[in-house]
Each structure stands twice: as structure tokens, then as C-alpha cells.
Amino acid sequence: VDDLAEVDYSLNSLPAVFQPFIDLDLKGTVYPAGNYTAPPYMAVPFAIPDQSDSMLYLAFSEYFFQTSSFAYYTAGAFNITIAEETCNYFNISTEIFGSIIPEVARYSVTPYPVMLKLMATEIPVVSLEQDSFTAEIQGSMEVFAVLPDSTDQSLFTMNIVANTSFALNIFDQKLMGSLCLNRLHFSLAQSNVGFFEISLLENILSYILQTEVIPSANAKLSKGFPLP
């Protein structure tokens, strides 16, 4: 698929040949690249509804997307660093945080650039729906001040629960996806600047995710999964 994941489309059984059609039962398991440990999911058999207006029908079970989620989580694809250059582009600094949160202003009197580190803390939970699927992602975001000597100092860490949906389509023999962020929930996990109400930051953090993380994810999703 890419440098993070591989997909196994090998046959689970011999092709079933009928007069009007042939059934191929493919494995459809996604693994972290170079790591073929069995994922923690069981594939459930399913049948394609009887239709005859096309030459080829492809059906993907929830198992396919679950193993995709597991593979990319294991490979670290959900761990993202938003560097200080990007934060500077969006004019995000300790000064901006300090104008919203007095505790940050008292902790960091001198304005510094910031860096954000996001990571998934659990395997995203996938639920398959008609023409799309949803994924609930639990993770964390740690905010650092970047000091003049290029070292960083942790300011605070937040827990994040993100509910997302994916629109799916097939193009150029690939399964393509587009990610949409539905809901976000933040909570304060740890702070070196003292306790503060995380709700004060929800707008700016949502803005960062919508303008930086989601477009970056969609750029990767646009490359698509190769089909068998």
C-alpha cells in the first residue's frame, strides 16, 4: 500500500464457480509493513446481495477496515508533530495561548514559538456504515514551548476524543477515502503551568486540527488502497 502498510489479498478458499458468476473469497488483511502478526480481529463471513447489472462487484467487510486501523496505528501513522514553522504560519505561540489562559502567561513571560505533538493512545475504533465508515480516535496532544536554544519545554497535555467519518469511492483501481471531522472532545491530562479550563482552548485547537491535520490526512488518503 505504502511504506507503512501492506495488504494481503490471497485467496481464503478455492474460487466458487457458478453458471452466471464466480465468487472469490479474498483475505483482505492489512498488516504493518514487514510485520505479519495476526491482528486482534476475527473476519466474519458475509455475502454480496444478488445483482447482475455489472461485470464485477467488490465488497469490503468491517474486518478490512479494522485491520487497516490496527496496521496504521501500529506503524505510528497517527503520531503527528506540528512543527514550530507551521505554528508560526498560523500565528500560534505561547503569547497566543497566554492571551487565552492566564496560567500560560504567568509561566512563560517571554513569547516563544510552540510545537504540538499528537498521538493516538488506542487503536481507532471503526464502525462500517453504508457507503462510509466512522472511526473514533482517542489520543493526546502535548503542547511545547520551543526555547531559543532549540530545546523544548512541555506546557501541558490534553486528551482528545475525535469522531470522524470517511467517504469511500473507487477510482483508478484504488479504494479512495476522504476524512471528515465530526466531533471533538478535549480534557486536560497534565499541566506544567497549573490547572485551567480546557474549554478556553477548544476553538483554537479545533482550528489547528481542521486546517492542518485533516488536510494532511486526506492528502495521504487520496493515494488510495490498491485493489486486487
- The amino acid that residue 157 corresponds to is T
The answer on pLDDT for 22 being more than 90 is no
105-141 pLDDT, tens per residue?
887 778 888 888 999 999 999 888 766 688 899 999 9
Residue pair 73/124 in contact (Cβ under 8 Å)? The answer is yes
User: Each residue of 196-211: pLDDT tens digit?
Assistant: 888 878 888 888 888 8
Helices (H) and strands (E) in the chain, counts: 6, 11
pLDDT on residue 84: 65
Q: Report the predicted TM-score, pTM, of the whole model to 2 decimal places.
A: 0.82
pLDDT at 64: 87
Instruction: Return the C-alpha torsion angle 26, 126, 168, 29, nearest 10.
Output: -20
Q: What is the mean pLDDT of residues 205-223?
A: 83
What's the CA gap between 104 and 124, in Å, rounded? 31
Domain 78-228 has CATH 2.30.130.30: no
Q: pLDDT grade, residue 86 (50/70/90)?
A: low
Q: How many CB atoms lie within 10 A of CB 201?
A: 21
Q: What is the pLDDT of residue 121?
A: 94
Domain with CATH 3.15.20.10 in the chain: 78-228
pLDDT above 70: residue 12: yes
Q: Could you report the per-residue pLDDT of 162-174, keeping only the tens digit for each?
A: 999 888 888 888 8
Q: 49-53: which pairs have CB atoms within 8 A and are 24 or more residues apart?
A: 52/20
Residues 191, 162, 207, 89, Cα dihedral to 10°: 70
pLDDT of the residue at 89:
64
pLDDT of residue 120: 92
